[in-house]
Structure 1
Amino acid sequence: MAVSNKPVVVVTGATGGIGRAIVEELVGDYAIVAQGRDEARLLTLSRLGEEIYPVQCDLVNTDEFATTFGLLPRVDALLNVAAIAPRLAFDDATAAVWSEVMHLNVTVPSELTRTLLPQLQESTGTVVFLGSGASRTTSPNNVVYAASKHALQALADGIRLRTEADRMRVATIAPGYVDTPMIAWDDDYPLLLPDTLIKPSTVARTVRHVIEAPSDTQITEVWIRPRTEA
């Protein structure tokens, strides 16, 4: 990416519903390194404004992080948004499913944060993990995803304690049901949604609030609930 005078933000899952909303919220005020897998969707993202730098890659390949992200000269905030959310009961989930979900939802953000740690230490930056209402609750039909978000919460807390001396800030933003394609599950499990879903733009505004918090504080957790509960 070109040298920018603006703070640099890395956004994973930038072509998804919440990720794109975050880019739309921050564009103009930040230089945005936007990761996604779909080239066409990344292209539309780069047209939103100047200083959006698309990175097409599959986050599953963590061995490539050092060359894909590690060479960035500066990172002021890392937003770990990418995730998968298959809805499965424990007895319907195979070991392969568990490995896939835990890898992308937990191992990937951990490894990317570790890769970018030198830049984040240098900038006394902020790391945001996108949690979920499932980070502290579960249901019999969504246990794999919920377990991964429980683990992500523990990861965020551990990184915050580990990097306290570096003055970094680490936050979990945990929304309830958000109006994105992720919740359009095609399965036979019962589903009860609230009358009004959270807008992706609402989550994006919360991300801005967290990364722009005054220097005398850190916002460690934000729980975003729908106005009516399911």
Structure 2
Amino acid sequence: MTTAQQLLEITDHLKALTVTNRQVVVVTGATGGIGRALVEELADDYAIVAQGRDAAKLAELNRLGDEIYPVRCDLADTSTFAETFGLLPKVDALLHCAAIAPRYAFDDATAAIWSEVMHLNVTVPAELTRTLLPQLRESAGTVVFLGSGASRTTSPNNVVYAASKHALQALADGIRMRTKTQRIRVATVAPGHVDTPMIEWDDNYPLTLPAPLIEPSTVARSIRHVIEAPEDTQITEVWVRPRTEI
């Protein structure tokens, strides 16, 4: 259920976004590594609706720019989307950065784990995109899904996450084909291992990481390149690989 505080925040955003002369970008997972890097990258030039769950980390984002509008909510509850994001007066770009990445081999993963990962990594971005489709149609906007090197490959010890990113790739391609006559641009930006807390796994599986890891700011710059592509083109896939392949 949407809380009174969330509704108050959205009401304030509605007033501000109605009069802004900037393009409006929605960033999910805005307090995470890549999400925060995106806010930092775009803050000087865009009005940013920044979603996150941690109130303190969201408050810190306000120091990055004058037109950052935090929305504190749990994306797992898709029933709130119409009452929050769906009320936004305009959306020029929707950047899906929120995800979870627990490592599991298939025989260690329960049905509950599969359901949680697929829901947060696939169903949530699908439903949020559907909710914001009217605004994206109006602006002929851009949707970016944050994929992964796991979008096209897998490993025996990370099959649940890889399956979710395979599905996300299919979702992005399907949305792009479905909306092509509406001039909505849809892209997948798929980095390798990025230096964020997401890869600090606490499990007993073997792990080999490239050196150096990709910086979150590098991925943010790649996403900016996608949403600022010239009007006569669309960038549908960007694969951001570490300098050292493993």
TMscore range, shorter length:
over 0.9
Distance 2:221 2:131 in 1: 26
Question: C-alpha offsets along residues 113-151 of structure 1, whole Å, 9 cap, x if unaligned?
Answer: 000000000000000000000000000000000000000
Distance 1:46 1:102 in 2: 31
**TM norm structure 1:** 0.99
**TM norm structure 2:** 0.93
Question: C-alpha offsets along residues 156-187 of structure 1, whole Å, 9 cap, x if unaligned?
Answer: 00000000000110000000000000000010
- The one of 202, 205, 216 equivalent to 1:186 is 202
Aligned residue for 2:242? 226
Aligned residue for 2:145? 129
Tell me the percent identity.
80
- The one of 70, 75, 82 equivalent to 1:59 is 75
Distance 1:113 1:122 in 2: 14
Aligned residue for 1:174? 190
Aligned residue for 1:199? 215
Distance 1:129 1:46 in 2: 24
Shift in Å, 1:40: 0.4
Aligned residue for 2:98? 82
Shift in Å, 1:192: 0.3
Equivalence map 1:79-158=2 (5 Å): 79-158=95-174
In the alignment, structure 2 segments of 5+ residues that lack a partner are 1-12
Shift in Å, 1:28: 1.3
Structure 1 runs (4+) deviating above 6 angstroms are none
In the alignment, structure 1 segments of 5+ residues that lack a partner are none
- The one of 224, 227, 230 equivalent to 1:208 is 224
Shift in Å, 1:38: 0.3
3-state DSSP of counterpart to 1:47: helix
Aligned residue for 1:44? 60
What amino acid is the match of 2:112?
A
Shift in Å, 1:108: 0.2
Paired positions, count: 230
3-state DSSP of counterpart to 1:70: helix
Structure with more of its chain in helix, by fraction: 2
Distance 1:184 1:61 in 2: 26
3-state DSSP of counterpart to 1:53: strand
42-51 or 162-171, which moves further after superposition? 42-51
Taking only aligned residues, the RMSD between alpha carbons, in angstroms, comes to 0.4
What amino acid is the match of 1:127?
V
The question of 1:159 aligning with 2:171 is answered no
Aligned residue for 1:23? 39
Shift in Å, 1:229: 1.1
